[in-house]
Amino acid sequence: MEQNVSERVKKLREELSYHAERYYVYDAPEISDYEYDMLFAELKVLEEAHPELYDPASPTQRVGGKALDKFEKVTHNARMDSLADVFSFEEVGDFCERMESLVSRPSFSVEPKIDGLSVALTYENGVFVRGATRGDGVVGEDVTGNLKTVFSIPLTLPEPLTLTVRGEVYMPRAVFEKINARREEQGKPLMANPRNAAAGSLRQLDPKITAERKLDIFVFNFQGGALYGDGRLPTTHTETLDRLSELGFQVLPLRRVATRCEEILSHIEAIGALRDELAYDIDGVVIKIDDLEDRRTVGEGTSTPRWAVAYKFPPEEKETVIEDITVAVGRTGVLTPTAVLAPVRLAGTTVSRATLHNLDFIRQREIMLGDRVIVRKAGDIIPEVVSALKEKRTGTERHFSMPTHCPSCGETVFRDESEAAVRCTNAACPAQLWRSIEHFASKNAMNIDGLGPQIVELLLSNRLIADAADLYALRAQQLEELERMGKKSAENLIRAIEASKSAGLERLVYALGIRNVGEVAATALAGKYGTLEALMEATSEELCQIPDFGQITADCVVNFFSHEGNRVLCRKLIEAGLLTVSVAAPTEDLFVGLTFVLTGTLPTMSRDEASALIKAKGGKVSGSVSKKTSYVVAGEAAGSKLTKAKELGVSVISEEELLRMMGE
């Protein structure tokens, strides 16, 4: 029976690897997504039932493993240089002339420059063992677990070769647009562009998040090792990429070999013309000598190879029409005008909206409703209106004015003369409510684990809460009836909400979302006034006496607490039993002179709760272990901090021992 299971697992892994390659590398699937998912689910069940059959190269390892504390450093076996940029056809011509003066009749590989993040992939005996970011070219970061989630990276090669290749990780446009659409619905800041999104996704400490981002890769270079089983090496770059394709790598498309500069320029234009149609972003075209011996003749520069350049596309500008100007309200109450454009294809994506920032921006550029305008992406990232084409006006255009009342709640808006922003200061404003509750529950605020954007939306849409204070009146039975919330999830969320009551005044003040009051300012306010009740009565003159507090921040605090809706919210939080006194000032001197470091998951407390208790006893809490550390409080799955404590001989205690020291 055991033999049959082992054979079935092996067969499933082979089938899934084959079909993943057909889908992700060759874009020629042979089975449906449903059939693939069923095979994958069967393999996962078998592997979980038989852990002795674990294989790091199994397709199930692509869904993301355990989250890391940090990325380890990796020294590359060959320097990962960047390329020199050129910005005109004249500069491309100069490059061709230089190469022709150094080698006889050079041939050039001309290929698109993928706008992504460069990585090195290392295989030992045909098995993927390490993936690293470029870093500074010499030392990068080990992101192996995250790269395993990229399905077009083969986990095993068809031959037992030991080699390193270089590729460009990117986020497909369709994935990027889908993620941004979801983030917009959730009121989250939008990702700037696919390249930034790919870089941020690849550097997530939790591989499961990377897996959700559906990254992809093109391999474009051979870094070293054995490309053939008999030890021979390729003679040209083109042969190299053809061989890598044979081994299962997804190699650069749209490449061609040219022998004359005119051919190079023609292919650059051809690639540029296809730019809008591609499923991924490119920001230029790479021109490199194809013959590897010729490359050695030309040689390397101090920081870039002499045998290659990257032609960068100029910023793309398009003409379109402002069909409307809408005004949205953000979490902090800022009213932001946005131009609704006749859709236009720009730098690889369809643009139908562009921020107009504020009224001053509109007036400075003399923008009117109905104007024909020039738009571009600032730095190929954020759509912006460059200018209005005033000479094309027909007389039907209209001036735009900011609303005098909040478009969401109807309250009178406020504009501080010291800034350009127009604001709604009503904390109960529906447009701000979702975002303000999400902020209230965030890690650095009340740290309510499990209360993410989707759950907040569920609570609001089902009218279970009307403000942040209502969270503390929720019952598990109410939550169990919600979509995506089972009994266990409901109980966990109620526990997390209850635990947040002891977060202290510092976190609570930050959680209120007072404009210009970040974590440092919130701590200063808590230290100055000690209780929420006292802070609610603060005057501008008193606030200005706090170090580093200016008149603007003081006015923001006074303005917040002068609004009756905000005062009602604060009173409800007090009545709900939240700890509304400062935990920064020690109530005892038991731990004065002692420094603690917390690591791992504690049995009954969160790290924030343990930190608050230590500080209340006069102790300090540090994020790193050193010889000056007095105690390391270690919980389950303690990592590198525990190891370092043992190396330095620092005392390691449990949560139980910490509580015993406190007399609790």
**HSE-CB of 540 using CA atoms within 13 angstroms:** 10
CATH class of 2-63: mainly alpha
pLDDT per residue as tens digits for the range 114-172: 999 999 999 999 999 999 998 878 888 999 999 999 999 999 999 999 999 999 999 99
Annotated catalytic residue, options 44, 66, 73, 113: 113
CATH class of 317-392: mainly beta
When the candidates are 1.10.1060.10, 3.40.50.1820, 1.10.150.20, 3.40.1640.10, the CATH number that belongs to 425-583 is: 1.10.150.20
Structure tokens at 41: 């689910």
In whole angstroms, give the CA distance from residue 553 to residue 370: 38
Specify the pTM: 0.57
State the helix-helix crossing angle for 89-102 and 261-274, rounded to 10 degrees. Answer: 140
pLDDT per residue as tens digits for the range 361-378: 999 999 999 999 999 876
Residue ranges, CATH 3.40.50.10190, the chain: 595-661
State the helix-helix crossing angle for 33-49 and 2-24, rounded to 10 degrees. Answer: 140
**Is 332 a residue whose pLDDT tops 60?**
yes
**Contact yes or no for 279/250 (Cβ under 8 A):** no
Task: Express as a percent the part of the chain with pLDDT over 90.
Answer: 41
Q: How far is CA 613 from the centre of its chain?
A: 33
Residue ranges, CATH 3.30.470.30, the chain: 84-312
- Sheet with 282-289: list strands edge to edge: 84-86, 308-312, 282-289, 108-114, 256-258
Best CA proximity match to 351, nearest among 193, 200, 197, 117: 193
Letter for the amino acid at 262? E
Best CA proximity match to 361, nearest among 330, 390, 337: 337
In whole angstroms, give the CA distance from residue 531 to residue 511: 15
Q: Which residue has the higher pLDDT, 323 or 4?
A: 323
Nearest 5°: phi and psi at 581?
-120, 160
pLDDT per residue as tens digits for the range 519-536: 878 988 988 888 899 899
Structure tokens at 25: 């590398």
pLDDT per residue as tens digits for the range 279-321: 998 989 999 999 999 999 999 887 789 999 999 988 778 899 9
**Is 97 a residue whose pLDDT tops 90?**
yes
DSSP SS3 for 361: helix
Is 501 assigned a catalytic role?
A: no
Superfamily per CATH, domain 595-661: BRCT domain (3.40.50.10190)
DSSP SS3 for 258: strand
Structure tokens at 609: 């709760």
Residue 122 Cα distances to 137, 141, 232, 248, 425, angstroms: 16, 13, 19, 14, 55
Domain boundaries 84-312, corresponding CATH code: 3.30.470.30
Residue ranges, CATH 1.10.287.610, the chain: 2-63
